[in-house]
Chain A
């Protein structure tokens, strides 16, 4: 998270931008068409049924395959694991990260390899004094992906664990995660449950719940049909030979952890999720930092949608291409669509609410009062489907709490309300920004 990426620009070339523009225009076309053609009730029903279907699919997946943590036999011989920690100006967190890595319990051998990516805050000099780790250095800041690639050349382990310098795996992380590789030899990566470390601000507490839902419930559900589309940066395990065979991480990608997962999927490898252990990670505490983080995620998302567009709706890739990709990576477009439609509708209603006051303040007030007094039942009938959608979402939420071994408490209510009603708009807006930035090829800098 803390790496510098000044030199990274959008790598999209003109034909890809054309595709992106066409994609955007199709989405915009659908919004305008449905806004002008269908009544808003009908549009809401269509959206509602579609989203209920998607939720139900996840519900069925959960019940058919993800409810139980799968039993995985431990291997006879535990492999050598190399932990790679890329570090750029992270003196605030990297030492804690190294310490938690040193405390890992593992039956086999493991070593820690820290790659300093041209730090300028003196953390390299401080790292030199730390014993029990291997230390490599990029003289110039090249970005996380190339730092990890560099470390791969020196890694001794059969399995490598990439751990962000602001993340702290639990003691049993290696033991629990590594065994998954030996279920079958197509498994190229294992991801673990990423949770928020020590949330303090409201924003962090919102993200805490968000992580439980997405890295907890959804990752486990998606993994049950081999559909993971990202191996989260905080901690992911890889088979080294597969990584090398695929050419390592993409150094030009904004979200190299998503890119590598999509590349693995494309080449028929499998990614497993292990929820028996967790890794705690620092998350942005300010809105500005969160905005930057998500902008990077969504720009990377848009970039990778285009890079792997042939996987979308492609029956060759089964559930992953037909369902998972469109409803996860592609859902940004879906969300943007629904958000734009809602805003159009609200602005139209807003005009109807405000315009009367322009003619006469007193008259407008009286009209507003009388419309409110008859408004007890103004609840639109189609919203009932929205209520059902919400109910399924709450079911997912309870399952997320179960997976996280958390008992819901009153202090979760406020962040939940924000997560439900405010956060989606924030995310939707950032997605649109991410789309626009990629389309116009803006330079990316922190």
Chain B
């Protein structure tokens, strides 16, 4: 009764095809969600960069630039660990995820751009109201400490509205991120860098970070 198995195989192939069609739809849905979030971030960074160029080339006073930066950049930089978490969750859930490498790199670069823009604003605008924290996590292996660290930072952001967190994997090949990693000699995750100076290695709880923040502001 070879025909039985032949029929069954054909039916299986048809079902599998239909299944893969739905899989590709679901995958695309998720990819699109990430894509639009990353696009928004890219646009933000890009417009800030142009603003900066405008000020360098045509501007007379730094007031215009500074007010823009402290309003917009500060607000938009709130996207932090969440988006990167989402990217890695979605990447795991998807089957057809070739696009993710590209999206991740775009995200890292824009995020770093946002961080640098905020630093630049601080440099040219006589200080900034924001405390910037770089948060290095790990992507190539499971990292429950990093998840907890992300949660602690979420709590801190709720308590300190002027805290801005920028999350990066320390084990990526993206050049810009690698430069940041090298600059602070990060070799393990999680690690935090507060305002480009103070480095906290290993998991830091709410109290530890809070104490550092208070010491800085006084």
Contacts and interface: CB of A to CB of B under 8 A. Distances in A.
Given A362-B155, A363-B152, A370-B85, A381 B94 contact: yes
A374 B89 contact: yes
Contact of B93 (A358, A365, A379): A379
Chain A residues touching B, majority SS: helix
Given A57-B5, A359-B203, A385 B93 contact: no
B1 interface: yes
Contacts of A370: 81-82, 85, 150-151, 154
A358 B33 CA distance: 32
B206 A360 contact: yes
A382 B16 CA distance: 11
A130 interface: no
A317 to B, nearest CB: 13
Nearest to B155: A366
B19 interface: yes
A417 B148 CA distance: 35
Interface in A357-416: 357-360, 362-371, 374-375, 377-382, 384-385, 388
B4 A360 contact: no
Nearest to A61: B4
A380 B4 contact: no
Contact of B4 (A48, A319, A357, A388): A319
Contacts of A59: 8, 11
A157 B206 CA distance: 85
Nearest to A51: B12
Given A367-B147, A368-B151, A381 B5 contact: no
B99 interface: no
B12 A356 contact: no
12 contacts: A45-B95, A49-B12, A56-B12, A60-B7, A60-B8, A225-B4, A360-B148, A364-B147, A377-B33, A377-B90, A381-B23, A384-B19
Interface of B: 1, 4-5, 7-9, 11-12, 15-16, 18-19, 22-23, 26-27, 29-30, 33, 81-82, 85-86, 89-90, 92-96, 142, 144-145, 147-152, 154-155, 203, 205-206
The 10 closest A-B pairs by CB, nearest first: A367-B151, A355-B144, A366-B151, A363-B152, A363-B151, A356-B148, A57-B8, A359-B148, A56-B8, A363-B148
Given A359-B144, A362-B155, A370-B151, 5 more contacts: A52-B12, A57-B8, A359-B149, A360-B205, A364-B147
